[in-house]
Chains A and B, each alone.
Chain A
Amino acid sequence: MAYDYTPYPYVPPKGLTQAEPRHPVAIVGAGPIGLAMAIDLAQRGVASVVLDDNNVVSVGSRAICWAKRTLEIFDRLGVGERMLEKGVTWKIGRQFHGDREVYSFDLLPEDGHKYPAFINLQQYYVEEYLIDRVRDFPGLIDLRFRNKVVDHADRGDHTLLTVETPDGRYSLEADWLIACDGAGSPTRNRMGLSFEGQTFQEQFLIADIEMKDSPFGDAAVPERWFWFDPPFHKGKSALLHMQPDNIYRIDLQLDVDADARAEAAEDKVIPRIKAIVGDKPFRLDWVSVYKFRCIKLDRFVHGRVIFVGDSAHVVSPFGARGGNGGIQDVDNLGWKLAAVIQGKADEALIATYHDERSHGSAENILHSSRATNFMTPKTPIEALFRTEALRLAHDQPFARRILNSGRLSMPCSLEGFALQTPGAAQVPPGSPLVDAPLSGAEGETWLLSQVQGDFTLVGFGDVPLPDVPGVRRLGINQRAADYPCFTATHGHAIRRYGSDIAYLFRPDGHVAAVFRRPTAQDVARAAGRAMGKTTETA
């Protein structure tokens, strides 16, 4: 059944009739990134107003692949379990050359993780669940539909916004402006910021179809199928994904000079789909023809204006690094901005959001550009190498790994950046947390549920943890202590982190420092460093 796009109500904002007190944070855009940002801040007690020009969730499925790390962040924001329950968990990816399967991979991670490697879930569901979650913070999140920001002015320590509603315009002040207004960001355009990079000429057709019988044939489990030069679409590439509600995503490469409007017309799309699914009945749910670019802003932070998600960086869709990258931006910025607003950290901490996430987005751009280049050879020699790599891939393992239909989104390491204290461990400083099952006095739980959200010092094995202000403590496989202790279920946590070692996790779950014998002074210094405090030299 087609998704029911119920409009959300427009409520005339207070600013139309009287001046509003200055808001700590204004978020432009109520897509997945803007909504997640508001929830992250609200969970830390920071109020925000979210302004969106529209009043329905994403039209069309758009972003559908949500990676493990994203789900773990959504878990912290209170929506991960709902997404996992509704989403399609897939683990097998098959790559075809012509009508022959050349390579399949199994994403099933090792046991003992709360979330799988990937789920597929339409963006409209993600937004719906986030909006429902926003409703849990009536005093902290002021979500305003049909409130379109038409202008903004930098006032040094705050921003003045002009907002258009069905009842006219009003103005609003905010200490911080967070632009989550997407790839075409009006905020970015208004500021005249250069946003140029590699533009790919190829066009792709996305069609979502609803069908009762699986186009994967007899496969009982959902998979990801990718074809190089499929028999039904000669000389191009094709991708097939399953979404909830019996919706299937088909992605087809088109000619460089194809007429986008004509390609999106039903009379053109339906025969292309029939060539794939045969005579099985289907309903066309959504069609889009797109091109893409790989670009990032030179700076994500401009005074009190911060760019998050697609407004800061765009990538090709191969590898699912757009939406997933944006959610990692939110995860990185949320605790830092809250600390600055609450006077716990210096404003300089915000600059580290740029440093760390610009690095992450550069990595995403590199991988997605390479995948796109592999999928769309530009010269006869590039095409020749690819053809021969595909030929060898039928029985040469090394050649299979050269095939690139998208290197799927993985979180980047922040090793070597200023906030981390250098050190050596199984999970080195800068790495994102690796989940593991735990059991405690209140039953079964997960490391990610216990660690994310605050600075947390976790002792694995026999390592006593000092009490440091602002740092939670957690013991794993420890004898009784004056802080919460858990047992590593099946030993997973110890195997993944080592024994007799303590890890200091940042609120976004990245490792800030490691200690063999943590002293209060060392832990306090590392936590201070992770909060951007410059350490006095001895």
Chain B
Amino acid sequence: MKIFPDRLSPQQDDFYNALMDAHEGLSETDSHALNARLILLMANQIGDLDVLRDLLTTARAYADV
């Protein structure tokens, strides 16, 4: 499984803006909670455990520690 290079453009700005709007007015704690819910919803939507494991590994690889 390979991560898609780019499936967002040319609507990347619309998405990013909608994401920021979703956080509008939330406290930092509530924003983190929203992010957690969003990840769970997206995981269900993707629905493929191999893909999800790949994404988790990739995201983790960028961590500083």
Contacts and interface: CB of A to CB of B under 8 A. Distances in A.
Contact of A382 (B13, B20, B62): B20
Interface string B15-34: 01101100100101001100
B5 interface: yes
Interface in A358-412: 367, 370, 373-374, 379-382, 385, 388-389, 391-392, 396-398, 401-402, 404, 407
A385 B19 contact: yes
Contacts of B4: 398
A380 B30 CA distance: 12
B12 interface: yes
Contact of A401 (B3, B9, B19, B32): B9
B50 interface: no
A379 B16 contact: no
Central interface residue in A380, A381, A388, by most chain B CB within 10 Å = A381
Nearest to A389: B16
Nearest to A394: B62
Nearest to A400: B6
Contacts of A388: 62
Contacts of B28: 379-381
B41 interface: no
A370 B14 CA distance: 9
Highest count of chain A CB atoms <10 Å: which of B12, B23, B32: B12
Contacts of A392: 62
A385 B20 contact: yes
Contacts of B3: 396
Interface in A401-440: 401-402, 404, 407
A397 B62 contact: no
B46 to A, nearest CB: 15
A104 to B, nearest CB: 16
Chain A binding surface SS class? helix
Contacts of A380: 28
B7 interface: yes
B43 interface: no
Contacts of A407: 13
Nearest to A391: B62
A398 B3 CA distance: 10
B8 interface: yes
A412 B16 CA distance: 22
A398 B19 contact: no
Given A370-B17, A391-B62, A402 B12 contact: yes
Interface string A233-252: 00000000000000000000
Nearest to A398: B6
Contact of B5 (A367, A398, A402): A398
A370 B13 CA distance: 8
Contacts of A379: 23, 28, 31
A77 to B, nearest CB: 32
Contacts of B32: 381
B23 A382 contact: yes
Contacts of A404: 13, 16
A397 B6 contact: yes
B7 A398 contact: yes
A404 B8 CA distance: 14
A422 B11 CA distance: 25
Contacts of B26: 381
Interface in B31-57: 31-32
A367 B10 CA distance: 13
Q: Which of B9, B16, B23, B62 has the most CB of A within 10 A?
A: B16
A470 to B, nearest CB: 38
A402 B62 contact: no
Nearest to A382: B20
Contacts of B31: 379, 381
Nearest to B4: A398
Contacts of B5: 396-398
A95 to B, nearest CB: 14
Contacts of A391: 62
B64 to A, nearest CB: 9
Contacts of B16: 370, 374, 385, 389, 402, 404
Interface in A314-330: none
Nearest to B31: A381
Interface in A32-59: none
B58 to A, nearest CB: 8
A370 B7 CA distance: 20
A7 B22 CA distance: 53
B6 A401 contact: yes
17 contacts: A367-B13, A370-B13, A373-B17, A380-B28, A382-B23, A385-B19, A385-B20, A392-B62, A396-B3, A396-B5, A397-B6, A398-B4, A398-B12, A401-B9, A401-B12, A402-B8, A404-B13
Interface of B: 3-9, 12-13, 16-17, 19-20, 23, 26, 28, 31-32, 62
A-B pairs, 9 with minimum CB distance: A398-B6, A381-B31, A397-B5, A401-B9, A397-B6, A401-B12, A402-B12, A381-B23, A398-B8
Given A370-B16, A373-B20, A382-B23, 20 more contacts: A370-B13, A373-B17, A381-B23, A381-B31, A381-B32, A382-B20, A385-B16, A385-B19, A385-B20, A392-B62, A396-B3, A396-B5, A397-B6, A398-B5, A398-B6, A398-B8, A398-B9, A401-B8, A402-B8, A402-B12
